[in-house]
């Protein structure tokens, strides 16, 4: 099966064209888009949280300024979410990947040369836009159009690409040990993402990607307007948004919090890499667990894990609490992305799942304000404890709400 862009601006399923490209070229294309996704993940959220303490000190930024840059990164990712499908439909996959590589190279270059808050903010803004344009939508579009059985290539794409979140902080530590500076890391990210984007563009250039519309995916399930009118949809959206807010904020400030409480910056960065490792494991397990126990149980587990991760940062730091943080934060992040998507599909069906998922992603952009608020709280109180406490309370409310949530019934179903 494969993805195509219809005249109705939707990504829909269509039969693959098995003669579109040779076997060798298909795997080259898979390698190219996977490498782009790997370095995109390596240089964005996880790595930025690790590099931020050094950038804050050198650029003389406040933590409110630092958090605002993280907020811009998240806002750009959320608000540009409709762009990849529109770009692929109107200008093609080649131009879309080319634009992503340019934005990535420019964004990371701005971080590398940053001498003020403005350059830092512009860099995170461009990287956020490129994260969407060059990320999973064009990646999955390429992969699923080139392989008749895309499950294994898709697993390679997400699995290897997701490892970038683990590699990013470790790569920064290695570069910092050699150069004793943070700027070379951003230059490396600019070079790697720009090169991978160009490679992906060259490999997919000339490959035929068919376009068709298949209305069968719209038969079963809820109309979008009916789904938007029931509380269950908004509870699912709130759960996803809450998990994303906790994840984004904790990724941004955990390293600084750990170092303020006696952990070395190296060990703090290694801790966040372990979080990413458990997140990858959580995503891998989520599908099987959700299939056996249901999407609601999986969502409860995700929100509960994120809540416990936030609360864990309020207790005195020790090896035990650090291990508990790695476990809960990692599994919470890994489960949350899959759980909310599965719950939407289970409760409202595939009829207009794309529209409902896009709505959820757009609303969840509000989660990007978490780091900004957290940075402002640190500037005024000297600690992140208040924001961790607020997220712990919010997560507990969401966990209880999802626990009692029941599948709504569509009156017109009969």
Q: What pLDDT score does 217 carry? A: 37
Compute the half-sphere exposure of residue 147: CA atoms within 13 Å on the CB side of its CA.
21
Same CATH topology for 1-218 and 219-409?
yes
CATH topology of domain 1-218: Growth Hormone; Chain: A; (1.20.1250)
Q: What are the φ/ψ torsions at residue 393 (nearest 5 degrees)?
A: -65, -45
Q: 170-188: b or e for each residue (b if 16 or more CB lie within 10 Å)?
A: bbbbebbeeeeebbebbbb
Helix (H, G, I), strand (E, B) or coil at 344: helix
Residue 247 structure tokens:
């994840």
Beta bridge partners of 196: none
Residue 35 structure tokens:
């490498």
What gap in Å lies between CA 294 and CA 291, rounded to an integer?
6
CATH match of 219-409 with 2.60.40.10: no
Decide: 33 and 200 in contact? Cβ < 8 Å. Answer: yes
Q: pLDDT of 303-347, one tens digit each?
A: 999 999 999 999 888 889 999 999 999 889 878 877 777 788 788
Q: pLDDT of 362-399, one tens digit each?
A: 788 788 788 888 888 888 888 888 999 999 999 999 99
**At which residue do the structure tokens 């790697």 appear?**
192
Cα 366 to the center of its chain, rounded Å: 14
pTM summary value: 0.67
For residue 203, give the nearest of 212, 191, 195 by alpha carbon. Answer: 195
Quickly count helices (H) and strands (E) in the chain. Answer: 18, 2
414 residues of the chain, pLDDT tens digit each:
344 433 334 344 444 443 345 778 888 888 999 999 899 988 887 788 889 889 998 998 888 888 888 788 878 887 787 787 778 777 888 998 999 999 999 999 999 999 989 999 999 999 999 988 888 778 777 776 777 665 567 667 776 777 887 888 889 989 999 999 999 999 999 999 999 999 999 988 877 765 433 333 334 678 878 888 899 999 999 998 999 889 888 887 888 888 888 888 788 878 887 887 888 777 777 666 766 787 888 899 999 999 999 999 998 888 899 999 999 998 898 788 777 777 887 888 766 665 677 678 778 878 878 888 888 888 888 888 899 999 999 999 999 999 998 888 876 543
Domain ranges in the chain? Answer: 1-218, 219-409
What gap in Å lies between CA 266 and CA 174, rounded to an integer?
10
For residue 165, give the nearest of 41, 66, 313 by alpha carbon. Answer: 41
What gap in Å lies between CA 48 and CA 69, rounded to an integer?
10
> What contacts 24+ positions apart, CB below 8 Å, involve 166-169?
166/46, 166/273, 166/276, 166/277, 166/280, 167/38, 167/42, 167/273, 168/41, 168/42, 168/43, 168/44, 168/46, 168/47, 168/50, 168/273, 169/46, 169/47, 169/50, 169/269, 169/270, 169/272, 169/273, 169/276
Helix (H, G, I), strand (E, B) or coil at 5: strand
């Amino acid at each position: 099966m494969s993805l195509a862009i219809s005249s109705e601006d939707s990504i829909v399923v269509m039969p693959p064209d098995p003669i579109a490209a040779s076997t060798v070229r298909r795997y080259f294309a898979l390698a190219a888009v996977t490498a782009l996704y790997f370095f995109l993940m390596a240089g964005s959220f996880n790595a930025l949280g690790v590099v931020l303490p050094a950038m804050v000190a050198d650029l003389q930024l406040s933590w409110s300024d630092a958090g605002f840059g993280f907020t811009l990164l998240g806002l750009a990712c959320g608000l540009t979410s409709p762009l990849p499908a529109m770009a692929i439909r109107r200008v093609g996959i080649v131009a879309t990947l080319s634009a992503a590589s340019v934005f990535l190279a420019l964004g990371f270059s701005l971080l590398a040369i940053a001498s003020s808050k403005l350059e830092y903010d512009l860099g995170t803004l461009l990287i956020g836009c490129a994260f969407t344009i060059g990320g999973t939508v064009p990646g999955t579009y390429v992969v699923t159009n080139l392989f008749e059985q895309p499950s294994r290539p898709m697993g390679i794409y997400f699995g290897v690409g997701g490892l970038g979140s683990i590699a990013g902080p470790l790569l920064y530590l290695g570069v910092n040990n050699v150069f004793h500076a943070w700027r070379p890391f951003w230059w490396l990210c600019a070079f790697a993402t720009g090169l991978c984007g160009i490679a992906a563009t060259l490999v997919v250039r000339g490959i035929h990607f068919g376009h068709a519309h298949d209305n069968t995916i719209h038969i079963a399930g809820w109309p979008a307007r009916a789904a938007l009118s029931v509380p269950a949809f908004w509870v699912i959206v709130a759960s996803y948004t809450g998990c994303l807010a906790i994840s984004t904020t904790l990724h941004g400030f955990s390293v600084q919090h750990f170092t303020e409480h006696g952990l070395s910056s190296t060990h703090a960065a290694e801790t966040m890499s372990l979080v990413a490792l458990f997140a990858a494991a959580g995503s891998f397990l989520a599908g099987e667990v959700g299939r056996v126990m249901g999407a609601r149980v999986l969502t409860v587990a995700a929100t509960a894990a994120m809540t416990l991760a936030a609360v864990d940062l309020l207790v005195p730091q020790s090896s035990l609490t650090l291990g508990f943080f790695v476990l809960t934060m990692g599994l919470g992040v890994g489960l949350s992305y899959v759980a909310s998507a599965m719950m939407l599909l289970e409760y409202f069906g595939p009829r207009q799942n794309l529209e409902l998922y896009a709505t959820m992603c757009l609303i969840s952009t509000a989660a990007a304000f978490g780091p900004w608020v957290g940075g402002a709280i640190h500037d005024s109180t000297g600690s992140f404890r208040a924001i961790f406490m607020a997220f712990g309370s919010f997560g507990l409310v969401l966990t209880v709400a999802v626990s009692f949530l029941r599948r709504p019934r569509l009156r017109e179903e009969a």
